[in-house]
Chains A and B, each alone.
Chain A
Amino acid sequence: MSFDLWVLLVEQGWGFALLRGATVTLAVGLLGMLAGVIVAVPLALLRWRRLPLFSQAVDGYSILVRGVPGLLVIYLLFFGSIEWVQRLATAFGYQNSADSAYPFVIGVVAIAAISCAYSIEVFRGALEAVPVGLLEAAKSLALPRYVTFFHVTLPIALRLALGGLNNVWQMTIKDTSLVSVVGMQELMRSAAIAAGITRSPLLFYCAAAGMFFALTAISQALFSHTERFFNRGFSRG
Chain B
Amino acid sequence: MELDLVTYAVPFLLAGAKTTLLISVFGVALGLPFGIALAVIRASKNRMLSRSADIYCAVFRGTPMLVQIFVIYYGLGQISAIRSNPVIWWIVGHSLHAAILAVVLNTGAYTAEIFRTALLSLPRGLIEASQACGLSVWATFRHVKFPLAVRQALPAYSSEVAIIVKESSLASTITVLEITGYAKRLMSETFAIMDIFIITSAFYLMMNVISLTSLKLIERKLSFGK
For the complex, is B123 an interface residue (Cβ under 8 Å from A)? no
In the assembled complex, the Cα of A112 lies from the Cα of B218 at a distance in Å of 35
In the assembled complex, the Cα of A200 lies from the Cα of B201 at a distance in Å of 37
The listed residue (B71, B76, B166) touching A70 by CB distance below 8 A is B166
Contacts of B76 in A (CB 8 A): 202
Contacts of A176 in B (CB 8 A): 64
Contacts of B187 in A (CB 8 A): 75-76, 79
Which residues of chain A from 110 to 157 have any CB-CB distance to chain B below 8 Å in the complex?
none
A68-B201 in contact (CB<8A): yes
Which residues of chain A from 52 to 71 have any CB-CB distance to chain B below 8 Å in the complex?
63-64, 67-71
A72-B74 in contact (CB<8A): no
In the assembled complex, the Cα of A64 lies from the Cα of B194 at a distance in Å of 14
For the complex, is B208 an interface residue (Cβ under 8 Å from A)? yes
A201-B204 in contact (CB<8A): no
A209-B180 in contact (CB<8A): no
For the complex, is A20 an interface residue (Cβ under 8 Å from B)? no
Which residues of chain A from 171 to 194 have any CB-CB distance to chain B below 8 Å in the complex?
174-178, 180-181, 188, 191-192
Interface string of A197-237 (1 = CB under 8 A from B): 00011100110110011001100000000000000000000
In the assembled complex, the Cα of A190 lies from the Cα of B107 at a distance in Å of 26
The listed residue (B62, B64, B78, B193) touching A188 by CB distance below 8 A is B64
Contacts of B166 in A (CB 8 A): 67-70
- Given A67-B162, A200-B78, A205-B74, are A72 and B68 also a contact pair (CB < 8 Å)? no
Contacts of B184 in A (CB 8 A): 75
- Given A79-B187, A200-B78, A202-B71, are A69 and B63 also a contact pair (CB < 8 Å)? no
Contacts of A79 in B (CB 8 A): 187-188, 193
Contacts of B173 in A (CB 8 A): 71, 181
In the assembled complex, the Cα of A206 lies from the Cα of B67 at a distance in Å of 8
For the complex, is B59 an interface residue (Cβ under 8 Å from A)? yes
Contacts of B201 in A (CB 8 A): 64, 67-68, 72
Task: Bin chain A's interface residue count.
Answer: 20 to 34
For the complex, is A195 an interface residue (Cβ under 8 Å from B)? yes
The listed residue (A63, A67, A69, A177) touching B180 by CB distance below 8 A is A69
A212-B64 in contact (CB<8A): yes
A213-B62 in contact (CB<8A): yes
In the assembled complex, the Cα of A64 lies from the Cα of B176 at a distance in Å of 24
A67-B205 in contact (CB<8A): yes
- Given A67-B204, A75-B187, A76-B194, are A209 and B71 also a contact pair (CB < 8 Å)? yes
Interface of B is mostly: helix
Which residues of chain B from 169 to 204 have any CB-CB distance to chain A below 8 Å in the complex?
169-170, 172-173, 180, 183-184, 187-188, 193-194, 197, 200-201, 204
For the complex, is A80 an interface residue (Cβ under 8 Å from B)? yes
For the complex, is B33 an interface residue (Cβ under 8 Å from A)? no
Which residues of chain B from 102 to 151 have any CB-CB distance to chain A below 8 Å in the complex?
none
B197-A213 in contact (CB<8A): no
Within the complex, the shortest CB–CB distance from A192 to chain B, in Å, comes to 7
A177-B64 in contact (CB<8A): yes
Within the complex, the shortest CB–CB distance from B169 to chain A, in Å, comes to 3
Interface string of B20-46 (1 = CB under 8 A from A): 000000000000000000000000000
- Given A188-B66, A205-B71, A212-B64, are A69 and B169 also a contact pair (CB < 8 Å)? yes
The listed residue (B70, B79, B168, B197) touching A205 by CB distance below 8 A is B70
B200-A68 in contact (CB<8A): yes
Within the complex, the shortest CB–CB distance from B21 to chain A, in Å, comes to 14
In the assembled complex, the Cα of A64 lies from the Cα of B198 at a distance in Å of 10
Contacts of A80 in B (CB 8 A): 193-194, 197
Q: Using CB atoms and an 8 Å cutoff, list the residues of chain A in contact with chain B.
A: 63-64, 67-72, 75-76, 79-80, 174-178, 180-181, 188, 191-192, 195, 200-202, 205-206, 208-209, 212-213, 216-217
Q: Using CB atoms and an 8 Å cutoff, list the residues of chain B in contact with chain A.
A: 58-59, 62-68, 70-71, 74-79, 162, 166-170, 172-173, 180, 183-184, 187-188, 193-194, 197, 200-201, 204-205, 208
* Seed contacts A69-B170, A80-B193; 8 additional CB < 8 Å A-B pairs: A68-B200, A72-B169, A72-B197, A76-B187, A174-B64, A174-B65, A195-B74, A202-B79
